[in-house]
């Protein structure tokens, strides 16, 4: 009954920016951090950023300094601000708890290309 809906992806040139949103419905456990994952074609899904209930954030090295994760609990929405995008950031981006407890949504496609 939990539904996760990602949005905000698109085609952007290298060096550009995008902001992704994740809207959650249903009852989600509040005992875990939440995060953004991504999966490139032929690759494993990887966690790129997560934020704890206290607001602490962590990022994979490849996006550190370029991406910012945030949340609005009242709106039940998670965000990912992505700056200085690179072609290697191209992937489908998903949200979930960390560790991932729920079914994956459709994700939102981010394509970085000239």
Cα pseudo-dihedral 99, 4, 49, 68, rounded to 10: -150
User: 76-103: per-residue pLDDT in tens?
Assistant: 999 999 999 999 999 999 999 999 999 9
pLDDT above 90 coverage of the chain, percent: 94
* Cα dihedral sign, 87-91-93-94: negative
User: 13-29: per-residue pLDDT in tens?
Assistant: 999 999 999 999 998 88
Find out whether 45 and 37 touch, Cβ atoms under 8 Å. yes
- Using pLDDT thresholds of 50, 70 and 90, give the confidence band for residue 43: very high
Res 49 pLDDT > 90:
yes
């Amino acid at each position: 009954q939990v539904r996760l809906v990602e949005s905000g992806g698109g085609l952007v040139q290298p060096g550009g920016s995008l902001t992704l949103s994740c809207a959650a419905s249903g009852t989600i456990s509040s005992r875990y951090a939440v995060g953004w994952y991504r999966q490139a074609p032929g690759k494993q899904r990887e966690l790129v950023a997560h934020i704890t209930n206290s607001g602490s954030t962590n990022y994979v090295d490849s996006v550190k300094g370029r991406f910012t994760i945030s949340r609005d609990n009242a709106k039940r929405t998670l965000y990912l601000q992505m700056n200085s995008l690179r072609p290697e950031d191209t992937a489908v981006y998903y949200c979930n708890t960390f560790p991932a407890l729920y079914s994956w949504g459709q994700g939102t496609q981010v394509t970085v290309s000239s």
